[in-house]
Amino acid sequence: MNAGAWGREMSDVTESITLLTPGGAVEEKKSPGLPFGHRRLQLDPGTVIIKGMLRVSRTGKKTLAAVVEKMNRRRRETQPLDLPSAGSVFKNPPGAAAGRLIEQAGLKGRREGGAQISERHANFIVNTGGATARDILALMEIARRRVYEETGIQLEPELQVVGEDG
């Protein structure tokens, strides 16, 4: 995974990774040249990361605490942290924000079973109680279809769907 937030991602700080390949070999890969993409690290199926070396910088405890508090405050203000979710559902298309597109399509608060497009941030689908995978997938399809109909923009899932419905 190439997790990221607010313009930074794991690829920015990863120096190297040590892998266990499906064949049992241990390999080290160094940056640059690691196969990072948008929100992913392209590895062969069955490969396991067994070690990672990250590049960090020294900073004072107070400075670091202030940065962390600013990020946490921003999350509390903009994300639905009071209900379970899997985070951002769709990737932001070039020049747009998926949440804004879903909101402009009038879907904030839309429910399907126990799942709901969050009223706080429309790129989150929350579990209001008893949501099933089918409920969540239905809301994803509704959002994709409506945004495409209204804007011509095809939303691409950020979530990786696995299983029978995947």
pLDDT digits (tens, 9 = 90+) for 1-29: 556 566 667 777 788 888 888 889 898 98
Q: State whether residue 7 is helix, strand or coil.
A: coil
Give the residue extent of every domain in the chain. Answer: 4-54, 75-151
At residue 163, the pLDDT reads 75
CATH of domain 75-151: 3.90.78.10
Asked if 134 and 115 count as a contact pair (C-beta separation under 8 A), the reply is: no
Average pLDDT over residues 101-108: 97
CB contact burial 17-35 (16+ within 10 A = b; e otherwise): bebeeeeeeeeeeeeeebe
Tens of pLDDT along 114-164?
999 999 999 999 999 999 999 999 999 999 999 999 999 999 998 878 876
Indicate if 11 belongs to the active site: no
Indicate if 8 belongs to the active site: no
- Token code pair at residue 48: 């396991």
The whole-angstrom separation of Cα 61 and Cα 36 is: 30
Tens of pLDDT along 29-56?
888 877 777 667 788 888 888 998 888 8
DSSP H helical segments within the chain, as ranges?
61-78, 98-104, 133-151
Q: What is the pTM of this model?
A: 0.68
Which residue in 39, 40, 100, 120 is the catalytic one?
39
Which residue in 88, 112, 118, 144 is the catalytic one?
88
Higher pLDDT, 140 or 67: 140
DSSP 130: S
Indicate if 149 belongs to the active site: no
Q: State whether residue 99 is helix, strand or coil.
A: helix
DSSP 152: S
At residue 164, the pLDDT reads 64
At residue 3, the pLDDT reads 63
Average pLDDT over residues 69-85: 86
